Copies of this chain bind each other. A is one copy, B any other.
Amino acid sequence: MSDCASCAVRCRAICASLAVDEAAELGRMGRRQRVKAGHTLLWEGDEAPTVANVLSGVLKLVVATADGREQIVGLVFPSDFIGRPFAKQSPYRVTAMTDAEVCIFNRQQFDDFAGRHPHLQQKLLHRTLDELDRARHWMMLLGRKSASEKVASFLLDMEERLPGDPGGGSGGFELPFGRQQIADILGLTIETTCRQLTRMRSDGLVDLPSRRAVRINDRARVAAMAG
């Protein structure tokens, strides 16, 4: 059983839509679980999967071809929701990119609970609609943008979305993953991704103080570059 009172994302997660007693009932169904970086929580096509809230860490949603190519189709941050309610199979793989902590529910139980709590469903609907908008805009990037536009768009998106940006925006930010993962997000190879970053650094658009740190120097030009 989860200890909702101490939950770091209590205010932002879908649970926030519930009254105290309702939250308590849901809490009894949930279980906290740690996931190590690189560990997979849900496999594509998994039967009888679970759903979960993310408490900390970053996870990725991955779709892969038979021959091993991977495309990251979504990033999941703290307070975000994981899993596929109302379906027997998970449509994609969910893997932790950093050490993470999640609050897990049995899907069947969760579905039943959701059916009895319209507010929870409404929250879920809002989130799903937002995710759909994000996914569709990403489709534009994947289908129509060049490598340089992709990388520029990516950096702007990450600056905006990454939680706990230390230094408050002007101090740059720290990516929670490496070059290969960036490539898998953008539909590029690691080499192309790398070259674009190097060029942006030589052009003075960004600083790359360490492997995973990024600081955008000229936001206007990066935005122009993003198309």
Contact = CB atoms under 8 A, between A and B. Distances in A.
A139 interface: yes
A227 B140 contact: no
Interface residues of A, number: 42
A92 to B, nearest CB: 6
A65 B87 CA distance: 35
Interface stretch (A4-12, A35-43, A121-129, A168-176): A121-129
Question: How many identical chains are in the complex?
Answer: 2
Given A84-B129, A86-B125, 18 more contacts: A65-B145, A65-B227, A73-B139, A85-B125, A86-B126, A91-B136, A92-B136, A118-B118, A121-B122, A128-B128, A131-B132, A132-B132, A135-B136, A135-B139, A139-B142, A142-B187, A143-B187, A144-B187
30 contacts: A61-B136, A63-B136, A64-B140, A65-B140, A65-B145, A67-B227, A71-B140, A73-B136, A73-B139, A74-B136, A85-B125, A85-B129, A86-B129, A91-B136, A91-B137, A92-B136, A118-B118, A118-B121, A121-B121, A121-B122, A124-B125, A125-B125, A128-B129, A128-B132, A135-B135, A135-B136, A139-B139, A142-B143, A142-B187, A143-B187
